[in-house]
Amino acid sequence: MTELWLIRHGQTDWNLEGRYQGQADMPLNATGLAQAQAFAASLDGRKFSALYSSDLMRAYQTAQIIAAQVGLAVQTDRRLREINQGEWQGRTLVEIRAVYNEGKQAHRSQIDPATARAPGGESVLEVSQRMALASDDIARAVPTGPVLVVGHGLALATLYCQAKGIALSEVYLHIAENTQAAVIEWPRN
């Protein structure tokens, strides 16, 4: 088992506005930069074997700040990106509801959160599969750990659920706050 530290990126303006970021390449705002610096400082004296990050700017900026503190190079992996939100990307929940009238879809209680998707986007199940493949590769490359993995709320929550045996239908309950970390054990496959 490899110990993975799952760290969500710092805050962006779209986080504040409640916009679905998906794979939009948004930078950290001033608060997000300060959050990343505070998190990095909290790691003072800890030793890590590697640092991986999503290639999206908000995660990569967070990872760079952490890398300066822990003395590691940032290794990027596109598979660590957030869920592709398709046509919902950049919109708020209010805007989405106005454009994609929920009454046109199946009754809400019949929708499986793990397989539902925004038009043109990915499902949680698809995200969990690519995140698991990336984590498998990380665990094989760095079997001794611990490893820092900087990414995105929903994508990292899929790993947390998989490691803890939690159904993906509950993934939204396990999305971390900005720069919050969760530590899991990931099996080497």
How far separated are the first and last CA of the chain, in Å rounded?
A: 9
Assigned token pair, 55: 């290639």
Sheet with 181-186, side-by-side order of all strands: 74-76, 50-53, 147-151, 2-8, 181-186
Assigned token pair, 137: 């590769």
- Catalytically annotated residue among 9, 122, 152, 174: 9
Active site residue 174: no
* CA distance to 57, 64, 183, per residue, from 71 (Å): 20, 10, 20
Residue 110 CB burial class (10 angstroms; 0-12, 13-18, ≥19): exposed
Active site residue 82: yes
- Catalytically annotated residue among 82, 122, 152, 174: 82
* Active-site annotation, residues: 9, 82
